[in-house]
Amino acid sequence: MTSRTALLEVEGLTRRFGSGRNVVTAVKDVSFTLAPGEIVAIVGESGSGKSTLARLILRLLPPTAGTIRFAELGDVTRLRGGQLRRYWQHVQAVFQDPFATFNQFFTVRRFLLRSLGILDDPPQGTARDKAIAAALQAVGLEPSDVLPKWPHQLSGGQRQRLMIARTLLLRPRLVVADEPTSMLDASLRVTVLNLLAELRQHGTSILFITHDLGQAFYLADRLLVMYQGEIVEHGPVEAVLSAPRHPYTQRLLADVPRLGEGRTALTTSEHLTPHHFSTSS
């Protein structure tokens, strides 16, 4: 399934861990494309291979087989050195548990300054400080409060918001968000989902990994359902959720009360309501 307009094109992606009888195929022959400005959700239970897929796409882990093509860069599984850094200019991660992402010896200010350093033409001086402050404020962090802090002085939710702030600051072409709201309470969760929806308006593509069908339903254009490392169902969100074909998707859907009532009536266990989602988009 080659598409000339795709930003990301994953084909036959496979990753095995271990060897012999202990081998685990965490990601098995996964193929999909992501268009510019598109949001694709990957849903699946814990252990289905979602985070491994995310790490492969971010080039944090080499694949056992398969290709990952990114726009003009071609197959990124082959990139090294300067070319790999170029790929990382375009791709940002937002993780489920972002503690490991932060250098514990860097303050928030230094972390964000260094992040800006990957850009070819980063803002300077007051423009830079204003951009940083605006990104922090967008995620509900007070710049004067968090900028001097060290990672361990932030809560999990604050660290997760800091990663979203970095994404807003860098405006990458692709965001790989692996359970990006897992450490946030209901109202912040809504804020972050809305920020992701806004990023897309600027042309950013988002791979949105979640075990929460409600969030996928709200945010995504298309849905990929992963089960034991494989994509067992895919299609436009409404089509998949209104007529799930795979038994796993049917079971997943049965666990989410009221989702079948349509997008406007969405209420999940996380208290997401249509009211919360009425944004400028």
Ligand X SMILES: Nc1ncnc2c1ncn2[C@@H]1O[C@H](COP(=O)(O)OP(=O)(O)O)[C@@H](O)[C@H]1O
- 48 binds ligand X per the rule CB under 6 A: yes
DSSP H helical ranges for 117-185: 125-138, 143-146, 156-170
Q: Mention every residue, 6+ apart, whose C-beta is less than 8 A from residue 182.
A: 96, 97, 160
Among 32, 34, 44, 192, binds ligand X (CB under 6 A): 44
Which span (33-41, 47-55, 136-144, 196-204) binds ligand X, by CB under 6 A?
47-55
Residue 208 is classified by DSSP as E
**In angstroms, what is the minimal distance from the CB of 170 to Mg ion?**
23
Q: Are 180 and 215 in contact (CB under 8 A)?
A: no
Q: Are 225 and 246 in contact (CB under 8 A)?
A: yes
Closest distance between Mg ion and the C-beta of residue 100, in Å? 13
Least Cα distance to 154 among 189, 107, 191, 112 occurs for: 107
First-residue to last-residue Cα distance in the chain: 30
Residue 34 binds which entry of Mg ion, ligand X, none, CB below 5-8 Å type-dependent: none
Which residues lie across from 235 on neighbouring strands?
223
Per-residue string for binding with Mg ion, 106-125, x by CB under 5 A?
Answer: --------------------
d(CA 1, CA 235) in angstroms, rounded, equals: 14
47 binds, among ligand X, Mg ion, none (CB under 5 to 8 A by kind): ligand X
Whether the Cβ atoms of residue 105 and residue 146 lie closer than 8 Å to each other: no
Considering the complex, what minimum distance in angstroms separates the CB of residue 49 from Mg ion? 8
Asked if residue 60 binds ligand X (CB under 6 A), the reply is no
* Cβ-based nearer residue to Mg ion, 177 or 272: 177
Residues 10-29 interacting with ligand X (rule: CB under 6 A) = 17-18, 24, 26
User: Cβ(85)–Cβ(140) under 8 Å?
Assistant: no
Min dist. Cβ of residue 46 to ligand X (A)? 4
* 172 Cβ neighbours under 8 A, 6+ residues apart: 89, 90, 91, 92, 204
Residue 216: CB minimum distance to ligand X, A: 14
Q: Kindly tell me which residue out of 51, 115, 191, 194 binds ligand X, with binding defined by CB under 6 A.
A: 51
> Closer to ligand X at the Cβ: 191 or 215?
215
Q: How far apart are CA 11 and CA 222, in angstroms?
A: 17
Q: Which two tokens stand for residue 74?
A: 């071609």
Q: How far apart are CA 258 and CA 147, in angstroms?
A: 41
Q: Which of 33, 48, 51, 194 binds Mg ion (CB under 5 A)?
A: 51
Binding partner of 49, given Mg ion, ligand X, none, CB within 5-8 angstroms per partner class = ligand X
Contact with ligand X (CB under 6 A) among 38, 40, 41, 50: 50
- For the bound state, the minimum distance from the C-beta of residue 211 to Mg ion, rounded and expressed in Å, comes to 8
Stretch that binds Mg ion, among 43-51, 139-147, 166-174, 183-191 (CB under 5 A): 43-51
Cite the DSSP H helix spans in 50-208.
Answer: 50-57, 81-90, 108-116, 125-138, 143-146, 156-170, 186-201
Residue 180 sits in the site that holds ligand X (CB under 6 A) = no
Residues that bind Mg ion (CB under 5 A): 50-51
Residues that bind ligand X (CB under 6 A): 17-18, 24, 26, 44, 46-52
